Amino acid sequence: MKNNLSYGSVADLFPRTGTILIADSWFQGRGILEAWGCPVLWVQASEQDKTLSTVERLVTQLLELQADRDTFLIGVGGGITTDITGFVASIYKRGVKFGLVPTTLLAQVDAAIGGKNGVNFDRYKNMLGTFRQAEFVLIDTDFLQTLPLRELRCGAAEMLKTFLLADSHAFESAVEVFRAERPQVPQWLVRRAGQIKMDFVSQDPEDHGVRRLLNLGHTFGHAIEKCSSRYAHGEAVAIGIVMAARMACEKGLLQAEDAERIRQDFAACGLPVEPPVPEAELHKAILQDKKRSGETIRYVLPTAIGTARLWEESVTA
Ligand SMILES: NC(=O)c1ccc[n+]([C@@H]2O[C@H](COP(=O)([O-])OP(=O)(O)OC[C@H]3O[C@@H](n4cnc5c(N)ncnc54)[C@H](O)[C@@H]3O)[C@@H](O)[C@H]2O)c1
């Protein structure tokens, strides 16, 4: 699989003909995207709008603009916008080419990389979607300047997760950066996180094996999101990682001091580290979910700062 990541300024992308932008409405009226001279279709970056009806509306607008199979779509925004753009591009006229310009840290290190796209359906997040790789993912870290601190920290959680899997040195450096009151994220850290994710994706594009390690913190994280609306996804993942580290420690897979260091480092970066509901409730939510689908419960457990392994538990009656 080709590495489609590039780092630089979006100014180099334009002018382009035959391109339509699908962009986060946060940019509407700010003059940034309008200056690129392409038609822009706006999307609201909210999980409630990450739906088939938004996809239908965008398809209608593309038809109105007489978009054909040679039209090139560029998604500009956070993970919601890049997920929607990839999905629309993969189904419009059986598929058109697209590029992504992620503008949140979370999208720059995670959501826009790897070819997964989709929308929510009913109560289920990302229930409908496809695997389709973008022609390019252009990462311009200047976009992070306007990102609210809470969003930056959500991205930090996914970035720290990636480093916990593969690079202890980058983990330490990232913790130093995110300790700051208003972190200035250096491009090399964003690049390193993207490169690690890309390595996992290249080995396992459709998520049947090693790519699943990227779900570190997500089994507990999703349960937290189900039981409480207090935390954003990245925050729930941060708590999930701390819980996974504790679990790894109980199973003798991780040294107690490493588990404690992970907890302290996430807390130092301004991320929550304690679940908002009792742990027993979370285990119940995880179990119920899996019983319904008959699957095994899959955890990713850190084995040191810089490595992790899969851990499966079968659901017994
Ligand atoms: N496809 C994947 O592999 C993958 C992986 C992880 C997450 N996701 C998806 O990503 C989504 C979350 O992405 P997200 O955290 O980027 O959320 P998001 O798209 O909702 O963006 C977060 C907020 O930041 C605003 N924003 C975007 N860019 C900005 C900028 N430069 N300055 C100021 N504000 C800006 C948005 O308007 C929004 O309010 C979820 O829907 C999740 O399912 C997908």
pLDDT tens digit sequence for 60-106: 999 999 999 999 999 999 999 999 999 999 999 999 999 999 999 99
Q: Please determine, for residue 285, whether its predicted confidence score (pLDDT) is greater than 60.
A: yes
Res 290 pLDDT > 90: no
For residue 116, give the ligand 1 atom closest to its CA: 1
CA distances to 102, 130, 212 from 126, in Å: 18, 10, 16
Q: Is the pLDDT at 213 greater than 70, yes or no?
A: yes
291-302 b/e (C-beta count within 10 Å ≥ 16 → b): eeeeeebebbbb
- Which domains, and CATH codes, for the chain? 5-146 (3.40.50.1970), 149-313 (1.20.1090.10)
- Return the DSSP state at 216: T
From its phi and psi, is residue 278 left (phi > 0), alpha (psi between -120 and 50) or beta? beta
pTM score of the predicted model = 0.95
In angstroms, rounded to a whole number, what is the distance separating the alpha carbons of residues 85 and 98? 8
Of 5, 106, 121, 212, which is best to mutate to test ligand 1, by the most ligand atoms within 8 angstroms of its C-beta? 106
Find, among 169, 64, 47, 70, the residue nearest to 118 by Cα.
Answer: 47
The pLDDT value given to residue 15: 66
- Look at ligand 1, atom 42, and give the residue with the nearest C-alpha: 79
Q: Which atom of ligand 1 is nearest to the CA of 107?
A: 16
